[in-house]
Amino acid sequence: MTTSSQPTLRENPWFTHTVRIADLIEETEGVATYQLVMTDGNSSSMYEFVPGQFNMLYLPGVGESAISMSGDPDRNDGWIHTVRVAGNVTKTLARLQRGDTLGLRGPFGAGWPVSELVRKDVIIVAGGLGMAPLRPLVYYLMNHREQFGKIWLILGARTSDGLLYPSEYAAWRKRDIEVILTVDRATAGWNGHVGVVTQLIDRLQLSRPEQSHLVTCGPEVMMKYAAMSGLRLGIDAERIWVSMERNMQCAAGLCGHCQLGPEFICKDGPVVRYDRIRPYLFVEQL
């Protein structure tokens, strides 16, 4: 819903809201989580989104960047975004402080298929910052825990410093989510798994693979191998979901940049079903 003076996202996907940084938390080196509050309205539904969707964050004079929501979809006290410094936009964002303003438009894109997951077992595979777009899904599953079967969260990072949101794992485990951590390289104090996420997927004992879904977000190469591991466990490609990243500029399927085969990653994705994207994932330079 919008106030009468504001167009809907459909009518004007370029309409940009002013948001203020209400809070920011340093997660790890170069990664911070922002709480952004809208300054131009006050309705309980203004922060509604589907886990997996993204907003366009706008730093005037620098540009826009597509950033997934990483907060709880059942809360309405702001947009929560975990951002890693990568390009000019995120570099500029990293220099801002509490109270500063920026632009935001959204939410855009297709998210995780939450309704399809009902009564199913769910394997969540996250690599590095790929945990950020998956955290809203974790919250959603926790908030409605009784609707879902067994849930695994396999989270990998280069080193243990890259494992996002470590203070929350205990709460997730308490809600009967099996959190399995792994790192590529062990540093001092690490006594968990060492190795890639696919090794851990391969070890899972699924009691009902035909009733299981695998959702994954992380580096593209990791998602490809995670999907292949899922297939080996007996999960059909129609029940594997990946969150893709491409150059998104308009976020509305109007500018052409984010295409991969026939898909507009911004509007048909970023979350896409593996069987739809598989023919194009393995073609070089597509």
Residues that bind other proteins (CB under 8 A): 7, 9-18, 20, 39, 58, 60-64, 86-87, 100-103, 245-247, 249-250, 252-257, 259, 261-262, 264, 267, 279-280, 283-286
Minimum distance from residue 83 beta carbon to other proteins (Å): 14
Minimum distance from residue 65 beta carbon to other proteins (Å): 11
The per-residue DSSP string of the chain comes to ---TTSPPTTT-TT--EEEEEEEEEEEETTEEEEEEEESS---TTTT---TT-EEEEEETTTEEEEEE--S-TT--S-EEEEEE--SHHHHHHHT--TT-EEEEEEEESB---GGGGTTSEEEEEEEGGGHHHHHHHHHHHHHTGGG---EEEEEEESSGGG---GGGHHHHHHTTEEEEEEESS--TT--SEES-HHHHHHH---S-GGGEEEEEES-HHHHHHHHHHHHHTT--GGGEEEE-----SSSSSSS-TTEETTEETTTT-BEEEHHHHHHHHTSTT-
Minimum distance from residue 179 beta carbon to other proteins (Å): 28
Minimum distance from residue 40 beta carbon to other proteins (Å): 9
Q: Which residues contact 77 (CB under 8 A, 6 or more apart)?
A: 35, 37, 47
Identify which of residues 176 and 220 has a Cβ nearer to other proteins in the complex. Answer: 220
Identify which of residues 150 and 246 has a Cβ nearer to other proteins in the complex. Answer: 246
Identify which of residues 1 and 286 has a Cβ nearer to other proteins in the complex. Answer: 286
Identify which of residues 192 and 262 has a Cβ nearer to other proteins in the complex. Answer: 262
Identify which of residues 12 and 143 has a Cβ nearer to other proteins in the complex. Answer: 12
Minimum distance from residue 172 beta carbon to other proteins (Å): 29
Identify which of residues 61 and 189 has a Cβ nearer to other proteins in the complex. Answer: 61
Minimum distance from residue 157 beta carbon to other proteins (Å): 17
